[in-house]
């Protein structure tokens, strides 16, 4: 896996094999498979609306630049701002092992 330091706009990210994601009541909940055995306290992640919109575009085909362009178009927002959001989101989730870098 590539570290978050190597995430850039040409990177392609996909959900890691070490997590399960499921849409629950309109919210994406992510559960790690490699956490401790026992209760699930504090080891569940939910995405805010921005994160959710990005997550749904991470199809293993698009680069982060493509993802940002699609979202900028969808939300009629400045591309530079969206690219920053996408890069920040992807870097954080790669760092947490939730996203895997499939191509950089």
Partner 1 sequence: MPDCRYYQIGGLTVQVESDLPITETTFQPKFKCFEVAGPGEDNVIIRHHFAPLNLEKMDLGRCVYRKAPWAIYRKGDTWIYLAVSAPMKDTEAGDMGVLSADHTHAEMYHAREDSFRRGNWQSLSMFTTDQIWLAPVLADRRAVLLHSAGVILNGQGLLFVGHADAGKSTTVTLLKDAGIGVEILCDDRNVVRRWLPPPARDGGAPHPAPPPPVTREGEWRVHGTWSHGDVADVSPASAPLRAILFLQQDTRNEIAPLTDRKEIWKRLLVALIRPMVTAEWWQKEMNVLEQIVNEVPCYTMRFDKSGAIVAELENQLRISSLSQHNAIRSFQ
Asked if residues 18 and 34 have their Cβ atoms less than 8 Å apart, the reply is: yes
Decide: is 49 part of the binding site for partner 1 (CB under 8 A): no
Asked if residues 64 and 86 have their Cβ atoms less than 8 Å apart, the reply is: yes
Nearest-approach distance from CB 47 to partner 1, in angstroms: 13
* Residue listed under structure tokens 């993802």: 67
Decide: is 20 part of the binding site for partner 1 (CB under 8 A): yes
Q: Binding-site residue total for partner 1 (CB under 8 A)?
A: 18
d(C-alpha 1, C-alpha 36), whole Å: 22
Residues that bind partner 1 in the complex, under the rule CB under 8 A: 17, 20, 22, 24-27, 29, 31, 33-34, 36-41, 44
């Amino acid at each position: 896996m590539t570290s978050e330091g190597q995430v850039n706009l040409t990177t392609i990210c996909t959900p890691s094999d070490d997590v399960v994601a499921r849409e629950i009541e309109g919210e994406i909940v992510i559960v790690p498979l490699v956490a401790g055995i026992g209760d699930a306290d504090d080891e569940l992640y939910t995405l805010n609306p921005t994160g959710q919109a990005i997550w749904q575009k991470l199809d293993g085909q698009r680069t982060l630049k493509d993802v940002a362009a699609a979202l900028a178009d969808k939300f009629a927002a400045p591309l530079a701002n969206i690219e920053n959001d996408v890069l920040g989101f992807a870097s954080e989730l790669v760092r947490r092992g939730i996203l895997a870098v499939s191509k950089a």
